[in-house]
Structure 1
Amino acid sequence: MSHIDPSAGRPATTTVYEQVERTDEFQDLRRRLRQFVFPMSAAFLLWYLLYVLLATYAPAFMATELVGNITVGLVIGLLQFVSTFAITAAYVHYANRHLDPRAERLRERIEGADT
């Protein structure tokens, strides 16, 4: 698709991808992605920051033995890995339900426009 670039007075071309990027469907897809990614990232970073702060300012608490040589710090550290996998699983579930169907429609639209 071409339009006139007012600053140059000559035709400027836009790609199909630039056209799709301006659609409401694409903006909705982007908004839905951000609705998941930003809060989840913030929550994970706060959770990790809590771990670092406890390790720095409450070493006695982190060294508290729960069972044998297993300490609070070790459990919280291992829970960091567990939460990473849980977030990944939650994202896959969210993407399958809310993002992938919309992205597929946009992909089909783009591929249909190229032919």
Structure 2
Amino acid sequence: MSTTEIGSPGTTPDSAEFLAAQASPEFARLRRTLYRFIFPMTAFFLIWYATYVLLGAFAHDFMGTKVWGNLNVGLLLGLLQFVTTFGITGLYVRFADRTLDPQAEIVREHFADGTYAAAAGKVQR
């Protein structure tokens, strides 16, 4: 969606409209919903990654433990870092499709119908 498609027909939203949108309860709900996903996932991944790095630095014997053939715990945990990254990405895409996109559409509709323009004190055509 381009900026010419939002706001009053034939106009581009100005900063007052964007500030009105930012102050709206719909946008606050969208932001809260996003943060409820992002902060826990970020904390989880950083703790998981830091644990891997610390084990690699200080638990050489544990990380060198053979699991199967030449596959050791360190290599296995390193590969799981990639699996975790792809898993979190998949979870985010699913979360965005089901939860964020419908809420963002409400915000876009309010731009299109002039709700934020009215809240910003602009006269609608």
Q: State TM-score, norm by structure 2.
A: 0.77
Q: Structure 2: how far apart are the matches of 1:41 and 1:102?
A: 22
Aligned counterparts, 1:90-105, within 5 A: 90-105=91-106
1:58 equivalenced with 2:59 (yes/no): yes
Higher relative contact order (CA 8 A, sep 6+): 2
Q: Structure 2: how far apart are the matches of 1:63 and 1:97?
A: 42
- Report SS of the residue matched to 2:67: strand
How many residue pairs get aligned? The number is 103
Deviations 1:29-70 (A, max 9, x none): 000000000000000000001101100110111011111111
* Poorly superposed stretches of 4+, deviation over 3 Å: none
User: Displacement, 1:107?
Assistant: 1.1
Q: Extract unaligned runs of 5+ from structure 2.
A: 1-13, 118-124
The letter of the residue matching 1:30 is R
Q: Percent identity?
A: 48
More strand by share: 1
- Report SS of the residue matched to 2:86: helix
- Report SS of the residue matched to 1:104: helix
Match of 2:11 in 1: none
Q: Structure 2: how far apart are the matches of 1:14 and 1:43?
A: 36
Match of 1:10 in 2: none
Q: Extract unaligned runs of 5+ from structure 1.
A: 1-12
Q: Structure 1: how far apart are the matches of 2:101 and 2:81?
A: 28
Kept in 1: contact 2:26–2:106 (CA 8 A): no
The letter of the residue matching 1:46 is I
Q: State TM-score, norm by structure 1.
A: 0.84
Q: Structure 2: how far apart are the matches of 1:45 and 1:14?
A: 36
Q: Structure 2: how far apart are the matches of 1:32 and 1:86?
A: 20
Q: CA RMSD in A?
A: 1.6
User: Displacement, 1:14?
Assistant: 4.8
Aligned counterparts, 1:1-115, within 5 A: 14-113=15-114
